[in-house]
Amino acid sequence: MRLEHLPILFGILVALVGAGLIADAWLGDSVPVLRERRRRERAVPHKGGEMAIGFGVVCLAATLIGRDGWRFGTLAVIAGAALVIVGAVLNRRYLRELLTFRGAARRSDPGTPPPVAPRDPGAERLRIR
């Protein structure tokens, strides 16, 4: 394998990731959440935004595969970057929850402290020395 083939292989891998994002947006959720265990409701990803990100990634992969000799490389990079940005803007609520949510996973009434496991007063503490 020659060194010139690495961008092509990497471009194929990136294109598969983009195709996976497009397929995920196209197929939708197959397993519904029956009982929510979180404090807040889950943010639902925007399907159009997810498809835009997928198409943007495929455009960037086409640029990698086309290398320097491809005539429309600059146009594909601009279109891919624009689609990724549009997809990120459409999915901003989902991305914010995905990156910043650090709360407890269980729901409880507002104002009540989280439940704590009761301690057994008769049990000895295990000491490790």
Which string of DSSP letters, residue by residue, matches 62-75?
HHHHHGGG-TTHHH
Residue 113: inside a domain: no
Residue 28 has pLDDT above 80, yes or no: no
Residue 49: inside a domain: yes
Confidence of residue 109 (pLDDT cuts 50, 70, 90): low
Residue 26 has pLDDT above 60, yes or no: yes
Residue 20: inside a domain: yes
Residue 60: inside a domain: yes
Six-digit token pair at 52?
């835009």
Mean pLDDT, the chain, whole residue set: 81
How many domains does the chain contain in total? 1
Residue 106 has pLDDT above 90, yes or no: no
Q: Which domain holds residue 96?
A: 3-29+44-100
Residue 117: inside a domain: no
Residue 34: inside a domain: no
Residue 67: inside a domain: yes
Residue 78 has pLDDT above 80, yes or no: yes
